[in-house]
Amino acid sequence: MQLILLPLLRFVFAILTITFSKARKPLTILSHLLDALLLSQLVLLLLRGTPQAFTVGGAPVGLGIPLIGDQNGLTFAVLAWVLSVAVTSYTWQDGLRPYFFLLLNLLIGASYALSFAKDLFTAFLLLDLSTIVSFLLVGYQRRPRQIWASLHYMILSSLGMSIFLLGIGVVYAHCGTLDLSLLEALVRESAGESWVHLASALLVAGLAVKAGVFIFSLWLPSAHARAMPAVSALLSGLVIKMGVVELFRISVVFPIDLPLIVLGVITGVLGVAYALNSYDIKRLLAFSTLSQIGYILIGFGAHTDVARLGALSYEVAHGLFKALLFLTVGEAAKCAGGSHISVLTANSHQIPWGTRIAMTVAVLGIIGLPPLAGFDAKAILEDGLSSVPLHLIVLLMSVGTVMSFAKLAPVLFARSTCRTCRSHVLSYGWLAGGILLFWPLSLLLVPPNVNLHAMTFAHIAEALIVMAVGSGLYMSIRRRRFALPMEVFRMETSPLIILLGFFLVYALIALGR
């Protein structure tokens, strides 16, 4: 019951905030409290070993929409709640219209529903709902570039969703159901048949567009960099992950481990390369999101339980620090008058110190300082990887991340006297607390034996060496720009690149047989 109430109540609150717009603040608080209550009930059920599961409206098996409150889903739902609290408090005093809160509530409701729904078509609708909502959120300030980015985003994700729907069609033609738990057995029965390959390739290619996978998500950098900070935080922390969560769901049923790993590596490496080359901080954050998605995909693709737990923790950790980074950088850019690194450095004294402390915590989190969020999640993830080359690639990505964030150092260490506004402090504190206390909190998700293993000397030493090497390399190549193709981000090429990506995925699936 809680499973269906969580999204439905959010939808009700969404409409109430616009109908009774004067009471929107109490309504928002109430909705968050209710969500907390329902979520904690679900978590308790899960910890007791009896996760809630039922079919919506009591429809027969195979036809209705099954909901299940398993570990993967609940982790994402809790992340959605945490980010929703952070963004709400960040925008508390900004005087945004009820329209904004309506969209926010719908987005959170859609994330809840997606975390629990184990049905392909429901996932399609939820992803589309999230596309439309984030489409409107990106263009909220009506700047032409935001609108252009929104339009690009919408065209590509509509194309992606069409490809996904083709995949759904192929699956339905052969199985007669869209329920993922039933599909598992049916697909295994006909493993190796050509329709399985076709369906998996279509589903993966379609979802990859939404999931921030590099060759597919060409809309992502411009949309994330152009939106306002609170929206960017949600897009990076939540909306992209909706695609990733669904990719993981599918990876249990369809044989897509190899494409997931390859896509993860491509995304990770190219994302880091573009991030290194970006000197506009918001753009850097957007590209870094791509590279971070790489870790999560590799974790899911490795198909071991520890790697899965690592990917889940990384999903949460990335949600926390990327949201915090977007929020703080957004405020800093507003105070300094621009988000380019040189502007930020020059006017760094105008950035409030509270913001800078929060930013420092987030940066330390993302580059993996023990025992913060990034370190813990990455360590668990690495424990789950068995192959040496993958290990090396993950290390390379970590070094790249350190290098790209080393640019922020002059901004972080400066003097200033301004103060952060109170509603922002609350939001920063909430997220920074999550990053700092990630290790103890993650015991809820990760069994203690795995989690303790992450805190070994080898991992700590590795993290410190990565940080040292990364900053050293940054010092040596500082400010040297290298040319990377930007042509791929244009509207004229991106649909073709998505098709090429489909071919790649298809080839990998056929190979992986």
Partner 1 sequence: MAAVIAFILFGIGILGLVLRRDLVIKLLALGLVNSATILFLVSIGDRPGARAPIQLPGDVAILADPLPHALVLSAIVVNFAILALALVFVMILVERYHTTDSTRIEQEMVRETDEEEKPCS
Partner 2 sequence: MRKDRIRIIAAIGIVLVFAGLVSVMHLGSAPDPSASTRFLARDLEETGASNRVAGVYLNYRLFDTLLEVLVFSVAVLGVRHYLQQSEGMELPDLSESEVVRTAVIFLTPLALLLCAFFAILGHISPGGGFAGGVIAASGLLYVAIAYGMRAMEKRLNPARLVRAEEAILLALLAFVLLPMVFGRTPLSDLMPKGTPGQLLSGGSILVYNILIALKVLVGAWAVIAAFAQHRGEL
CA distances from 266 to 11, 153, 260, 465 (A): 37, 21, 10, 24
β partners of residue 340: 280
Q: Is 162 in the site for partner 1 (CB under 8 A)?
A: yes
Specify the residue, 225 or 262, whose C-beta has the smaller distance to partner 1.
225
**Alpha helices, DSSP H only, in 368-444?**
373-384, 388-406, 409-412, 422-436, 438-441
Among partner 2, partner 1, none, partner that 436 touches (CB below 5 to 8 angstroms by kind): none
Among partner 1, partner 2, none, what binds residue 143 when CB lies within 5 to 8 Å by partner kind? partner 1
The reply to whether 61 sits near partner 1 by the rule CB under 8 A is no
- Residue 125's CB is within 10 A of a number of other CB atoms, namely 15
Q: Which residues pair with 66 in a beta bridge?
A: 55
Measured CA distances, 307 to 65, 156, 316, 378 (Å) = 29, 31, 14, 10
493 binds partner 1 (CB under 8 A): yes
DSSP three-state, residue 340: strand
Of 322-381, binders to partner 1 (CB under 8 A) are 338
Question: Minimal CA–CA distance to 215: which of 412, 505, 421, 507?
Answer: 505
Shortest distance in whole angstroms from residue 337 CB to partner 1:
10
Stated as kind and residue range, the H or E segment containing 182 is helix 180-189
Q: Which of 496, 503, 511, 513 binds partner 1 (CB under 8 A)?
A: 496
Q: 159 or 182, CB closer to partner 1? A: 159
Instruction: Supply the DSSP string of 8-56, one letter for each residue.
Output: HHHHHHHHHHHHTGGGHHHHHHHHHHHHHHHHHHHHHHHHTT---EEEG
Q: Which residues contact 456 (CB under 8 A, 6 or more apart)?
A: none
- Choose among partner 2, partner 1, none what residue 148 binds, the Cβ cut-off being 5 to 8 Å by kind: partner 1
Q: Which of 172, 195, 279, 353 binds partner 1 (CB under 8 A)?
A: 172
Rounded to a whole number of angstroms, the minimum distance from the CB of residue 451 to partner 2 is 35
Angle between helices 240-253 and 194-211 (to 10 degrees): 160
Binding site for partner 2 (CB under 8 A): 1, 4-5, 8, 11-12, 15-16, 18-19, 54, 56-65, 99, 102-103, 106, 113, 121-122, 125-126, 128-129, 132-133, 135-136, 139, 142, 166, 170, 172-177, 182, 193-195, 197-198, 202, 492, 496, 499-500, 502-503, 506
User: Site map for partner 1, 176-215, x if CB under 8 A?
Assistant: ----------------------------------------
Q: Which stretch binds partner 1 (CB under 8 A): 30-38, 124-132, 255-263, 468-476?
A: 124-132
15 versus 475: smaller Cβ distance to partner 2: 15
Least separation, in Å, of the C-beta of 480 and partner 2? Answer: 30
To the nearest whole angstrom, how small is the minimum distance from the Cβ of residue 186 to partner 2?
9
307: tokens are: 């790697």
Helices (H) and strands (E) counted in the chain, each on its own, are 24, 2
Distance CA 180, CA 164 (A): 15
Work out which of 12, 56, 96, 159 binds partner 1, going by CB under 8 A: 159
Cβ distance 429 to 327 under 8 Å? no
Is the Cβ of residue 195 or residue 353 nearer to partner 2 in the bound state? 195
Of 338 and 371, which has the nearer Cβ to partner 1?
338
Shortest distance (Å) from residue 177 CB to partner 2 = 5
- String of b and e for 420-431 (b: at least 16 CB within 10 Å)? bbeebbbbbbbb
Can you tell me which of 143, 188, 349, 422 binds partner 1, judged by CB under 8 A?
143
Q: Site residues for partner 1, window 453-492 (CB under 8 A)?
A: 490-492
Instruction: Give the interface size with partner 1 as a residue count (CB under 8 A).
Output: 38
Of 12, 53, 155, 395, the one binding partner 1 (CB under 8 A) is: 155
User: How far, in Å, CA of 261 to CA of 307, rounded?
Assistant: 12
Residue 58 Cβ, how far from partner 2 at the closest point, in Å?
Answer: 5
Question: Of partner 2, partner 1, none, which one sits near residue 59, judging by CB under 5 to 8 A according to partner kind?
Answer: partner 2
Per DSSP bridges, beta strands 66-68 and 53-55 are antiparallel
Report the partner that residue 57 touches, choosing among partner 2, partner 1, none (CB closer than 5 to 8 A by kind): partner 2
The number of residues making up the chain comes to 513
CA–CA distance, 345 with 403 (Å, rounded to integer): 17
Cβ 102 vs Cβ 17: under 8 Å = yes
Work out whether 96 is an interface residue with partner 1 (CB under 8 A): no
Judged by CB under 8 A, which of 54, 99, 148, 279 binds partner 1?
A: 148
The set of residues, in sequence order, having a beta carbon less than 8 Å from that of 193 and lying 6+ positions away, is: none
Which are the contacts of 272, defined by CB distance < 8 A and separation ≥ 6?
287, 288, 291, 396, 397, 400, 401, 403, 404
Chosen from partner 1, partner 2, none, partner binding at 4 (C-beta under 5 to 8 Å by type): partner 2
Among partner 1, partner 2, none, what binds residue 338 when CB lies within 5 to 8 Å by partner kind? partner 1
| Helix H or strand E encompassing 67 | strand 66-68
Answer yes or no whether residue 144 interacts with partner 1 by CB under 8 A: yes
Contact partner at residue 255 from partner 1, partner 2, none, CB < 5 to 8 Å by partner kind: none
Closest separation in Å from C-beta 57 to partner 2: 4
Residues engaged in binding partner 1 (CB under 8 A): 63, 121, 124-125, 128, 131-132, 135-136, 139, 141-145, 147-148, 150-151, 154-155, 158-159, 162, 165-166, 168-169, 172-173, 338, 490-493, 495-496, 499
